[in-house]
Amino acid sequence: MCLVIPSSLILSDDRMIPHLGILKVAAMLRRNQIDVDLLDLSGVARYLEVVGQYCQENNTDIFGITATSPQLPASGFIAETIRRMRPSAKLVLGGPHGTLVNAAYRREREKKIAGRATRALRRIFDYFDVLVAGDGERAVFDIFQAKHGQIIDADNRNSSLFLKREELENLPFPARDLIDLGSYRYLIDGAPTTSVIAQLGCPFGCGFCGGRNTAFLRTLRFRSADNVIAELREVYRFMQTAYKEKVAQECGAMFYDDELNIGGDNLVRLMNAIISLGKELDIKWRLRGFIKAELFNDRQATAMYEAGFREILTGFESGSPRILRNINKRATLEDNYRCAETARRNGLRVKALMSIGHPGETEKTIKETKDFILQVRPESFDLTRITVYPGTPYYDEAEPVLGRKDVWVYRAPKTGDKLYSGETDYFSDFMFYKGDRGDRKGLGKVSAFTETLSADDLRRLRNDTERELREKLGQPYQTDVPENAFDASKGKIPPYILRSTVPT
Ligand code: B12
């Protein structure tokens, strides 16, 4: 079986963050004596040539591809290439896009309608034979028998394919040896870094966030500190092999848990264990991760600092109390100010994750967001324009607009404020990422708009606001990203694309 990580055509540097989900699936296959090749096409401009070459040189008959929605166009091209060269191969899609489209489709089915989610699901089967939704670790073994058009749905708490909290501890760690870790370029405070996930799931209900109706992304599934430490010990071994003396003193880990501080004292326990591990390995950890603002406190912040965090990231999203309510954020503006102060008091920098284009967004609310940032003066920030993806409340709970075939409207439950969105063909439309850089590449298609701001207004206001904030905060656009940064392979079919046939 061959597992494929497609390139992300929207990221300016795609060789930064290894995709752990598919590496977990690979580890399970390997544990069960199934050989697996892994094509890591992240940051490879000529990725279709790599796929073509692989198909020429190998007889593989099952291909499993992972994809977020913005990775769908590349995944589609990859599927077409494989289909052309190996017409009898079984092609399987797994990962966030398929999982979330399936969740949106299930809602349409409950309502007995066949709308945009049903069409998005059908499109998947234009390219792929089988869809795996949710946890892939067990579901992957059902692929071998699956027929064309089948959905293997592990995204259901009653399914034996859905991993229970206590089972997570018995899983193998992601097969990081199947990617060329040393070609990834992520640094925290100068230290080579890789990604880690300690716990799964977020039970909250932010309107823009995918999976609010999925067991897979909603159910909180913790692992014990001991189990995470065992993984970090292994991570360090891989990092030593990949980066040699560069990690002799400092090694970075970026935690991609939705929110590290959701489980109360779990976080403090984990941080204490990381401190001990650092002493044992005689290194300093350089750590980053996301926290939920209203749950953040001094105890957590002190422990995080001690363990090696110098920065936290948090989704403040907006400076407008009304927009925070429309998002269903739970955190208030006061919580957000308090969170920033708690971080600073404990020596932690703040990366503020902000977004515009929520229900009820106006020029005034965008100005409130700008003022909030100028008040908090975070050490860094992001300003994203909201994209309405399947599997988010903004998408799933939207209703068709009467008389308009291609427009849907979401009404924020607390205020009735509206967000409009259209229909996207995820295989052909590149989704907007953060801003100018995406636009420059001509990938800036987005269709969400509010009652007072058109999609174009939102785009202009986002760009203007970011520019002004960067000037005022003295945080210029990253200009050192070369034009061809996307192409990690520098136009060649690089020898470092790993096609590792794995002995068990
Ligand atoms: C790390 C991360 C990133 C990283 C790297 C991406 C990655 N995939 O690793 C970065 C920072 C680059 C990123 C960027 C973005 N992200 Co992001 N990200 C995440 C995050 C926080 C963790 C991913 C992860 O490792 N999960 C844990 C693993 C175990 O889960 P998994 O990857 O889904 O894999 C499991 C299953 O899906 C399945 N599976 C996966 N692949 C395959 C393949 C096969 C063959 C099989 C059988 C099974 C299978 O098995 C795996 C093990 O159970 C998730 C949220 C989350 N908690 O998952 C969001 C998430 C994936 N991101 C999301 C979004 C929206 C984005 C952006 C579009 C953000 C933006 N505003 O533009 C960009 C697009 C990036 C791109 N690649 O093009 C959405 C996805 C929405 C969608 N429709 O696809 C998520 C789900 C967040 C959310 N809740 O809304 N992201």
Per-residue pLDDT of the chain (504 residues; tens, 9 = 90+): 999 999 886 666 778 889 999 999 999 999 999 999 999 998 888 889 889 999 998 999 999 999 999 899 899 999 999 999 999 999 999 999 999 999 999 999 999 999 999 999 999 999 999 999 999 999 999 999 999 999 999 999 999 999 998 899 999 999 999 999 998 989 999 999 999 999 999 999 999 999 998 999 999 999 999 999 999 999 999 999 999 999 999 999 999 999 999 988 899 999 999 999 999 999 999 999 999 999 999 999 999 999 999 999 999 999 999 999 999 999 999 999 999 999 999 999 999 999 999 999 999 999 999 999 999 999 999 998 898 999 999 999 999 999 887 899 999 999 999 999 988 888 887 654 444 444 444 334 456 899 999 988 998 999 899 999 999 999 987 655 444 444 444 444 444 344 444 333
Q: Is 385 in the pocket of ligand 1 (CB under 6 A)?
A: no
The candidate with the shortest Cα–Cα distance to 298, out of 258, 336, 330, 345, is 345
Global pTM?
Answer: 0.94
Q: Is 288 in the pocket of ligand 1 (CB under 6 A)?
A: no
Cα–Cα dist 92/64, whole Å: 5
Q: Is 70 in the pocket of ligand 1 (CB under 6 A)?
A: yes
Q: Helix, strand or coil for residue 93? A: strand
CB 92 within 8 A of CB 62: yes
What are the strands of the beta sheet with 187-188, ordered from one edge? 187-188, 191-196, 250-255, 284-288
Q: Is 213 in the pocket of ligand 1 (CB under 6 A)?
A: no
Q: Is 137 in the pocket of ligand 1 (CB under 6 A)?
A: yes
Q: Is 153 in the pocket of ligand 1 (CB under 6 A)?
A: no
What are the structural domains, with CATH classification, of the chain? Answer: 2-167 (3.40.50), 356-479 (no CATH)
Q: Determine the length of the chain.
A: 504
Ligand 1 site-directed mutation target among 68, 168, 395, most atoms within 8 Å of CB: 68
Tokens of 81: 């290439």
Residue 479's pLDDT is 52
The candidate with the shortest Cα–Cα distance to 200, out of 126, 260, 279, 121, is 260
Residue 500's pLDDT is 43
* Cα radius of gyration (the chain): 22
Helical residues (DSSP H) of 86-212, grouped into ranges: 96-110, 116-127
Which ligand 1 atom lies nearest to the CA of residue 99? 37
- Residue range 459-497, pLDDT digits in tens: 899 989 999 999 999 998 765 544 444 444 444 444 434
Q: Name residue 106's amino acid.
A: R
The candidate with the shortest Cα–Cα distance to 140, out of 167, 161, 163, is 161
CB 460 within 8 A of CB 385: no
Cα–Cα dist 212/203, whole Å: 8
CB 381 within 8 A of CB 475: yes
Helical residues (DSSP H) of 244-345, grouped into ranges: 266-281, 298-307, 321-327, 333-345
Please give the angle made by the CA atoms of 176, 480 and 350, to the nearest 5 degrees. Answer: 70
Q: Is 23 in the pocket of ligand 1 (CB under 6 A)?
A: no
Query: What Å distances lie between residue 33 and 26, 38, 148, 315, 381, CA to CA?
Result: 11, 15, 25, 41, 45
Cα–Cα dist 323/342, whole Å: 23
Instruction: Tell me the CA–centroid distance for residue 411 and ligand 1, in Å.
Output: 26
Residue 44's pLDDT is 85
Residue nearest to atom 76 of ligand 1 (CA): 8
Q: Is 99 in the pocket of ligand 1 (CB under 6 A)?
A: yes
Instruction: Tell me the CA–centroid distance for residue 226 and ligand 1, in Å.
Output: 25
Instruction: Tell me the CA–centroid distance for residue 96 and ligand 1, in Å.
Output: 5
